[in-house]
Chain A
Amino acid sequence: MVAWNKLKITVHTTETENYLYKNSFDVEGGNFSNAGTVSTHIKSILKNIGLPNNIIRKSAIVCYESEINIVSYARKGIINLTVTTKTVEFDIIDEGPGIPNIELAMEQGYSTADRQIREMGFGAGMGLYNIKCYSDIFNLSSEVDKGTFLKIIINIT
């Protein structure tokens, strides 16, 4: 457990929640040259907060794969990040084609990636599987032709 009082971080308090950091980041679909920039930014935020290295690593992995998914498949998306004293939470919402068969999409090696995605070194059907492996709570829901919602929680303790 991190000694938060030593880190000079303000704990924000509203009626319903306590958090150390909360922000939203836009991700542009199809912009392959910028893919990963939001995750790079979020990783440096988590480092500045002073989270343990293993938590930063897990967060970076799930955030990066999620960002690549938005860039690869959606028109646009938002990565909402909330850091509390106990968890790192990502609410990732995109507007795009959605996932017709979630069970199939979760399978290792299943992919609908095109050439551009594979040239970046992704698209081997490992993304969602990796995200699930490195999450403590993983919740994926989707509506075809509307978009996809991914909730990820990583426990700090």
Chain B
Amino acid sequence: MKLSDVKEILDADVIVGTEKLDMEVKTAFGADLMSDVLAFAKAGSLLLTGLTNSQVIRIANVLDIAAIILVRGKKPPIETINLAKEFKIPLLTTKYILFETAGRLYAKGIVGCLEQVEDHSAHN
């Protein structure tokens, strides 16, 4: 689906990236722990998170994340917004909690960027 569909499904506000709403997305990853985002999120995926500091943008940039969806109605600080603009990474915010955000996207066809972790990188 397009990022504009994601925006509709989540009733999200676009903070950065209104010009990129035509972008196609198929997969997503959700976590608040940045070590897990680094370990498991894949290029081209949506990143669903409740963390709003600039680490989220830098990590999204090094992993080539398609767009970031802030959940639970989080409003990012200005440094985060500026960094998202600099790296041209769309940044959206939705009032839905992480579980609802994931469920609503999944119901419309977005799947996880991986289903399960492999043994060697699994968190016990």
A: which residues have CB within 8 A of B? 33, 35-37, 39-40, 43, 53, 57, 60-61, 64-65, 108, 119-122, 124, 126-127, 130, 133-134
Residues of chain B with a CB closer than 8 A to A36's CB: 54-55, 58-59, 62
| Size class of the B contact interface (CB-based, 8 Å) | 20 to 34
Which residue in B39, B55, B64, B124 is a CB contact (below 8 Å) of A61? Answer: B39
Which residue in B58, B79, B123 is a CB contact (below 8 Å) of A40? Answer: B58
Which residue in B34, B39, B56, B79 is a CB contact (below 8 Å) of A133? Answer: B39
**Total contacts A-B at CB 8 Å:** 69
Q: Is the interface of A mostly helix, strand, loop or mixed?
A: helix
Residues of chain A with a CB closer than 8 A to B34's CB: 120-122
> In the complex the two chains form, is B39's CB within 8 Å of A64's CB?
no
> In the complex the two chains form, is A40's CB within 8 Å of B53's CB?
no
C-alpha spacing A122/B37, complex, angstroms: 10
- In this assembly, does B100 line the interface, its C-beta being within 8 Å of a C-beta of chain A? no
- Contact of A124 with B33 at beta-carbon distance under 8 Å, contacts A33-B79, A108-B124, A133-B120 already known: yes
> In the complex the two chains form, is A33's CB within 8 Å of B54's CB?
yes
